[in-house]
């Protein structure tokens, strides 16, 4: 019962888009982290994490985003997040200042445009 | 061939031999700790390396404990590293062997404290177990630079695989011990006498009932004691039949006299069946039933039949005749002696004279019917004897003819009172024995259904209505860690104790598998493998259904079982997809899973084929009847069960046993939560589901539901993270909505500590940011986090 979350990856040019569906908590944050790290080849310019279908994130999931941002920064790759306006997750991402390491966009088009 | 490659080949051969030897040790059931030590020694020896250590993943998956080692200082054993860090953590994530040429150049991860302490330069690690079921990591390290080959890495992984197999076997043994413990608990509360033996036939267990009966102590009964309490006259035959059952591992059945504590020998019927776990013969399990009364009566009956024949030969026979109109014209001396009346009194229309009130009407009617048809008859009824006692007599009548014309009847009667009474008592005893068997069956079923929040349930079990047959039908319900509810109904093919024992085993297996597998089809596949490998030809039809209480989503798999019925407001439909063969039929059985959604307030009915199968009616027609009866009438689940049973079975005997269970997601809103959960990460998902249901019922918006659930889960996560050890710690969550304000608390037995590392304080930041008020206070040796939050007023729709 460790994977209540599902990671689907697709390439848009040099940008990797990872759609995160389901729930991420301390039981599966390690797995999701692993999937996301594997999804980004050295040649990619950016990773976009799409949270449109994400129903739950806890502090372990937020920590994962910070860790990922640091990792990508070392490799000079950008990290951006897609969160539709009005998402229930909005307040928590603001509170934890996720935007400071990964700019939050309200649509995939905007995130792809950088 | 160069000297080097010759050396290399010898090394490989030696490594392969080491793997093979460890494999044999693992299969031989070597003590796990000893084996894991040997694993480390073999690694150090075969790789000629300083350090070998074996890490075990803790129950919560967050840390790796050093379970065994070679060359490592004793202080390191039992120490821990975080599972996400270092080489061991990386090997887990990589799910394969990992080689580090030199830690100084390593970029994939940082060395752990242990590696730094030991001054390790080159190292290898391999995960034990497969992804999702990792047990731990096997690692080897050297303080000098080493260049490991691919073969070295393969060797390490092979040894890790052997260790994984040993761990799995040890866990399976634990599971067996656990299921035996449950059996003992059950057996001690059962009314019957029960026992178990080991594979050599030595008694390893007798239940309380047995000890009460024999008056001996458990110590007296254990060991090579089979048959020691049997009557000396029965012992030899008993031991013979036991030996021959053991030799063929057949079902064992014997009737013998067993010594009771008061010194009397009582007749018992003993039935034993071989038991298997994962295909391995473990001995016998059996029951003994006191059949003394029946046995004594059968004895007496045989004796009385004998006497009856003797008496009948000598006793004055009672004889009478009638004329063509049926009026009694003559009775003999024997009849008069019996009734004590005069001949005058007996002549004429006197057919019901002296006949027992309860039999008089039938006797007269019979008589008139026979007379009209001029046919013969035979009947038993009670006739008043001269001393006022009503005695059972057997009367035969035959038409007599004079010169080709019907002239009336000639009849004879005999006193069969003793035999008849004996037969009646015998029937009562048989019935009582049947009730005992039935009680045993019921004791194997959950006594009452578990109380599961948010679910209403009702269940029935009706044993087959004949003989001593105990059926193999069962039902069960349990709450899974992800918050879903598993409902099971099954039917083991066959009857008797063997079917009941197989049923008990399957039921326990379901409980175990349902807790570790997330899909209905996967649970059934495992049950199938268990049934096929069991070696005792268990075949069963099973339906497993997983219900999400919150959304009503169902997933289900039917292994040859009749489809469950969904009863909505004014319609009923069968869930007839996800069908496969019964379990136990084929090792290659493929089990499909189907999904459906249970509408709010709809009821689900799961049942066994005894409800719908009837020889004289096509199954389709019976299913239609079930569907019709189920949707007609009130919606109460108890009422639904009663209605369905009455409507489909009607009066009279059942040919098969019937189990059914009715379920509905409860509509009553949950406005308070008070729950104690184990301090394990896996408990979080179930907690979120409960909170979501509760907050939904309290009218919280989607964002409020998420935020409040998150804040409470963060507090719970901290309790879990800092629990004193896996397995024995728990935490308590309380939440209530009063006057539009949510008040919640999470209470544990440890101190509040924020996670270490760069993200210190994020959990508390979230709680304080989301809730209107939050405080963390020590209380009763633990910590309680109190939170409150006002819910936004909802705009009426």
* Residues B627, B632, B637, B642, CA torsion sign: negative
Q: Is B686 on the interface with A (CB under 8 A)?
A: no
DSSP string spanning B662-684? EEEE--S---EEEEEEESSTTHH
Residue B315 has pLDDT above 70, yes or no: no
Q: Which residue of A has its CA nearest to B754?
A: A59
Average pLDDT of span B217-235: 81
Which positions ≥6 away from B496 have C-beta within 8 Å?
Answer: B271, B468, B469, B470
Q: Is A104 on the interface with B (CB under 8 A)?
A: no
CA-to-CA separations, B305 to B300, B309, B382, B413, in angstroms, rounded: 8, 6, 19, 16
Assigned domain for A89 exists? no
% chain B with pLDDT above 70: 84
Assigned domain for B181 exists? no
Assigned domain for B437 exists? no
Contact B685 A4 (CB under 8 A): yes
Min CA distance, A19 vs chain B (Å)?
Answer: 20
Task: Check which CATH number belongs to the domain holding B360 and give it.
Answer: 3.30.450.20
The pLDDT value given to residue B174: 67
The CA distance from B54 to B76, in Å, is: 11
The four Cα atoms B259, B262, B267, B273 give a dihedral, to 10 degrees, of -50
Nearest of B470, B488, B436 to residue B608 by alpha carbon: B488
Q: Is A58 on the interface with B (CB under 8 A)?
A: yes
**SS3 state at B761:** coil
Q: Is B500 on the interface with A (CB under 8 A)?
A: no
Assigned domain for B530 exists? yes
Q: Which residue of B has its CA nearest to A57?
A: B710
Assigned domain for B718 exists? yes
The pLDDT value given to residue B563: 94
**Does residue A92 or residue B318 have the better pLDDT?**
A92
Q: Is B460 on the interface with A (CB under 8 A)?
A: no
Task: Check which CATH number belongs to the domain holding B34 and give it.
Answer: 3.30.450.40
How many other C-beta atoms are found inside a 10 Å radius of the C-beta of residue A27? Answer: 26
Domain boundary among B290, B324, B339: B290
Q: For residues B32 and B154, state if they share a domain.
A: yes
Q: For residues B50 and B154, state if they share a domain.
A: yes
The pLDDT value given to residue B727: 46
Q: Is B107 on the interface with A (CB under 8 A)?
A: no
Q: Which B residues 688-707 touch A at CB under 8 Å?
A: 688, 702-703, 705-707
Average pLDDT of span B404-431: 80
Into how many domains does chain B fold? 5
Q: Which residue of B has its CA nearest to A32?
A: B93
Q: Is B681 on the interface with A (CB under 8 A)?
A: yes
Residue A15 has pLDDT above 60, yes or no: yes
Question: Which residues of A are less than 8 Å from B61 in CB distance?
Answer: 27
Min CA distance, B597 vs chain A (Å)?
Answer: 19
The pLDDT value given to residue B786: 94
Residue B557 has pLDDT above 80, yes or no: yes
The pLDDT value given to residue B724: 56
The rounded Cα B437 to chain-centroid distance in angstroms is: 17
Contact A88 B703 (CB under 8 A): yes
Question: Which residues of A are less than 8 Å from B479 in CB distance?
Answer: none
Question: Which residues of B are less than 8 Å from A59 in CB distance?
Answer: 714, 717, 755, 759, 762-763, 766
Q: For residues B87 and B108, state if they share a domain.
A: yes
The rounded Cα B182 to chain-centroid distance in angstroms is: 10
Q: For residues B326 and B371, state if they share a domain.
A: yes
- Using CB atoms, which residue from A2, A26, A92 is nearest to B710? A92
Highest mean pLDDT among B73-87, B589-603, B655-669: B589-603
* Residues B63, B69, B71, B75, CA torsion sign: positive
Across B415-419, B594-598, B601-605, B765-769, least confident range: B415-419
Q: How confident is the model at residue B1 (pLDDT cuts 50, 70, 90)?
A: very low
The CA distance from B392 to B380, in Å, is: 7
Assigned domain for A112 exists? no
Q: Which residue of A has its CA nearest to B132?
A: A2
Assigned domain for A43 exists? yes
The pLDDT value given to residue B486: 92
Min CA distance, B752 vs chain A (Å)?
Answer: 16
Contact B710 A58 (CB under 8 A): yes
Q: In what order do the strands lie in the sheet with B63-70?
A: B80-82, B63-70, B51-57, B136-142, B122-128, B98-100
The CA distance from A49 to A8, in Å, is: 10
Contact A27 B759 (CB under 8 A): no
Q: A39 — phi, psi (to 5°)?
A: -75, -20
**Does residue A49 or residue B453 have the better pLDDT?**
A49
Assigned domain for B430 exists? no
Q: In what order do the strands lie in the sheet with B565-567?
A: B455-462, B658-665, B603-607, B565-567, B572-574
Assigned domain for A45 exists? yes
Domain boundary among B267, B290, B313: B290
3-state secondary structure string, A34-51?
HHHHHHCCCCCCEEEEEC
Q: For residues B457 and B416, state if they share a domain.
A: no
Which positions ≥6 away from B332 have C-beta within 8 Å?
Answer: B316, B317, B318, B319, B320
DSSP string spanning B635-656? --HHHHHHHHHHHHH-SS--SS
% chain A with pLDDT above 90: 74
Q: For residues B699 and B772, state if they share a domain.
A: yes
Min CA distance, A112 vs chain B (Å)?
Answer: 27
Q: For residues B344 and B386, state if they share a domain.
A: yes
% chain B with pLDDT above 90: 19
Residue B337 has pLDDT above 60, yes or no: yes
Assigned domain for A56 exists? yes
Contact B710 A63 (CB under 8 A): no
Contact B766 A23 (CB under 8 A): no
Q: By CB neighbour count within 10 A (0-12 exposed, 13-18 middle, 19+ buried), where does B797 fall? A: exposed
Given a contact cutoff of 8 angstroms between Cβ atoms, the answer to whether B436 and B289 are in contact is yes
Range of the domain at A52: 5-84+97-106
Helices B3-27 and B150-189: crossing angle, nearest 10°? 0
Assigned domain for B256 exists? yes
Assigned domain for A41 exists? yes
Chain A contact probe: residue of B92, B522, B684, B696 with most A CBs at under 10 A: B684
Assigned domain for B620 exists? yes
Nearest of B214, B180, B215, B171 to residue B198 by alpha carbon: B180
Q: For residues B232 and B363, state if they share a domain.
A: no
Residue B405 has pLDDT above 70, yes or no: yes
Assigned domain for A111 exists? no
Average pLDDT of span B685-709: 86
Task: Check which CATH number belongs to the domain holding A48 and give it.
Answer: 3.30.750.24
CA-to-CA separations, B12 to B7, B22, B100, B152, B489, in angstroms, rounded: 9, 15, 21, 9, 53
**Does residue B297 or residue A46 have the better pLDDT?**
A46
Q: How confident is the model at residue A1 (pLDDT cuts 50, 70, 90)?
A: very low
The CA distance from B531 to B770, in Å, is: 52
Q: Is B133 on the interface with A (CB under 8 A)?
A: no
Q: For residues B65 and B212, state if they share a domain.
A: no
Range of the domain at B464: 451-665
Assigned domain for B431 exists? no
Q: For residues B468 and B582, state if they share a domain.
A: yes
The pLDDT value given to residue B562: 93
Into how many domains does chain A fold? 1
Question: Which residues of B are less than 8 Å from A58 in CB distance?
Answer: 710, 713-714, 717
The pLDDT value given to residue B495: 65
Does the pTM of the predicted model rise above 0.80?
no
Residue range B655-694, pLDDT digits in tens: 678 889 999 887 555 578 888 888 888 788 888 888 887 8
Whose structure tokens read 């075949």? B539
- Using CB atoms, which residue from B685, B720, B721 is nearest to A1? B685
Q: For residues B61 and B95, state if they share a domain.
A: yes
The pLDDT value given to residue A89: 94
Domain boundary among B665, B696, B711: B665
Chain B contact probe: residue of A27, A29, A38, A71 with most B CBs at under 10 A: A27
Contact B132 A56 (CB under 8 A): no
Residue B77 has pLDDT above 80, yes or no: no
Q: For residues B502 and B635, state if they share a domain.
A: yes
Q: Which A residues 63-102 touch B at CB under 8 Å?
A: 63, 66, 88-92, 95-96
* Pairing, β B565-567 against β B572-574: antiparallel
Question: Which residues of B are less than 8 Å from A62 in CB distance?
Answer: 759, 762
Assigned domain for A20 exists? yes
Question: Which residues of A are less than 8 Å from B109 in CB distance?
Answer: none
């Amino acid at each position: 019962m460790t994977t209540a979350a599902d990671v689907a990856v697709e390439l848009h040019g040099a940008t990797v888009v990872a759609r995160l569906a389901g729930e991420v908590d301390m039981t599966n944050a390690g797995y999701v982290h692993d999937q996301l790290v594997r999804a980004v080849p050295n040649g990619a310019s950016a990773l976009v994490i799409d949270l449109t279908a994400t129903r739950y994130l806890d502090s372990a999931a937020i920590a994962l985003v910070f860790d990922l941002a640091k990792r990508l920064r070392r490799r000079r790759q950008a990290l951006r997040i897609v969160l539709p306006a009005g998402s229930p997750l909005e307040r928590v991402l603001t509170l934890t200042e996720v935007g400071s390491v990964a700019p939050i966009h309200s649509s995939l088009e905007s995130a792809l445009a950088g | 061939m160069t000297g080097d490659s010759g050396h290399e080949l010898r090394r490989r051969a030696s490594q392969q031999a080491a793997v093979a030897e460890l494999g044999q040790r693992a299969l031989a059931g070597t003590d796990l700790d000893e084996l894991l030590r040997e694993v480390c020694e073999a690694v150090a020896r075969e790789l000629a390396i300083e350090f070998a250590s074996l890490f075990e993943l803790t129950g919560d998956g967050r840390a790796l404990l050093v379970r065994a080692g070679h060359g490592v200082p004793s202080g390191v054993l039992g120490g821990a590293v975080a599972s996400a860090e270092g080489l061991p953590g990386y090997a887990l994530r990589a799910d394969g062997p990992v080689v580090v040429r030199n830690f100084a150049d390593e970029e994939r991860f940082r060395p752990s404290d242990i590696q730094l302490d030991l001054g390790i330069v080159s190292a290898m690690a391999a995960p034990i177990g497969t992804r999702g079921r990792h047990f731990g990591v096997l690692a080897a390290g050297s303080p000098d630079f080493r260049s490991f080959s691919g073969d070295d890495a393969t060797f390490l992984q092979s040894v890790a695989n052997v260790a994984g197999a040993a761990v799995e076997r040890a866990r399976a043994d634990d599971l067996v011990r656990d299921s035996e413990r449950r059996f003992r608990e059950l057996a001690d509360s059962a009314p019957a006498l029960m026992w178990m033996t080991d594979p050599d036939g030595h008694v390893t267990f007798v239940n309380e009932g047995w000890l009460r009966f024999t008056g001996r102590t458990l110590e007296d009964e254990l060991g090579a004691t089979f048959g020691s309490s049997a009557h000396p006259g029965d012992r030899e035959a008993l031991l013979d039949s036991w030996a021959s059952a053991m030799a063929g591992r057949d079902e064992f059945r014997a009737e013998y006299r067993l010594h009771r504590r008061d010194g009397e020998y009582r007749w018992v019927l003993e039935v034993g069946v071989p038991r298997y776990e994962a295909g391995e013969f473990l001995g016998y399990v059996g029951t003994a039933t006191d059949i003394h009364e029946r046995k004594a009566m059968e004895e007496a009956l045989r004796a009385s039949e004998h006497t009856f024949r003797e008496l009948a030969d000598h006793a004055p026979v009672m004889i009478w005749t009638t004329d063509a109109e049926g009026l009694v014209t003559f009775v003999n001396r024997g009849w008069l002696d019996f009734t004590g009346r005069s001949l005058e009194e007996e002549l004429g229309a006197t057919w019901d004279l002296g006949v027992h009130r309860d039999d008089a009407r039938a006797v007269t009617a019979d008589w008139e019917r026979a007379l009209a048809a001029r046919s013969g008859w035979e009947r038993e009824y009670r006739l008043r004897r001269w001393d006022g006692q009503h005695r059972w007599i057997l009367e035969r009548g035959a038409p007599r003819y004079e010169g080709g014309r019907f002239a009336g009847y000639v009849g004879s009667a005999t006193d069969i009172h003793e035999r008849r009474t004996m037969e009646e008592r015998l029937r009562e005893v048989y019935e009582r024995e049947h009730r005992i068997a039935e009680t045993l069956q019921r004791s194997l079923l959950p006594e009452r259904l578990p109380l599961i929040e948010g679910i209403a349930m009702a269940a029935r079990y009706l044993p087959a209505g004949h003989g001593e047959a105990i059926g193999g039908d069962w039902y069960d319900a349990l709450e899974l860690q992800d918050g879903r509810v598993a409902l099971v109904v099954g039917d083991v093919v066959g009857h008797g104790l063997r079917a009941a024992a197989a049923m008990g085993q399957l039921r326990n297996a379901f409980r175990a598998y349902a807790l570790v597998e997330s899909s209905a089809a996967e649970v059934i596949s495992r049950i199938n493998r268990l049934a096929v490998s069991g070696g005792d030809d268990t075949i069963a039809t099973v339906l497993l259904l997983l219900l999400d209480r919150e959304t009503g989503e169902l997933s289900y798999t039917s292994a040859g079982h009749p489809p469950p019925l969904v009863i909505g407001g004014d319609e009923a439909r069968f869930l007839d997809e996800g069908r496969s063969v019964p379990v136990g039929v084929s090792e290659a059985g493929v089990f499909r899973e189907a999904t459906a959604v249970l509408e709010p307030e709809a009821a689900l009915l799961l049942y066994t084929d005894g409800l719908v199968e009837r020889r004289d009616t096509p199954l389709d027609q019976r299913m239609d009847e079930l569907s019709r009866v189920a949707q007609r009438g009130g919606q109460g689940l108890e009422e639904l069960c009663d209605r369905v049973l009455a409507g489909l079975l009607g009066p009279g005997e059942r040919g098969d046993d019937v189990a059914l269970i009715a379920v509905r997601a409860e509509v009553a809103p949950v406005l308070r939560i008070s729950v104690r959960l184990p301090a394990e990460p896996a408990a979080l998902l179930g907690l979120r589901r409960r909170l979501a249901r509760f907050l939904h019922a309290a009218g919280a918006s989607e964002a409020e539901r998420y935020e409040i659930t998150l804040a409470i889960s963060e507090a719970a996560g901290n309790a879990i993270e800092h629990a004193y050890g896996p397995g024995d710690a728990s935490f308590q969550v309380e939440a209530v909505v009063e006057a539009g304000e949510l008040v919640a608390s999470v209470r544990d037995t440890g101190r509040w500590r924020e996670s270490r590392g760069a993200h210190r304080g994020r959990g508390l930041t979230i709680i304080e940011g989301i809730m209107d008020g939050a405080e963390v206070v020590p209380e009763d040796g633990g910590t309680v986090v109190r939170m409150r939050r006002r819910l936004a007023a909802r705009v009426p729709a």
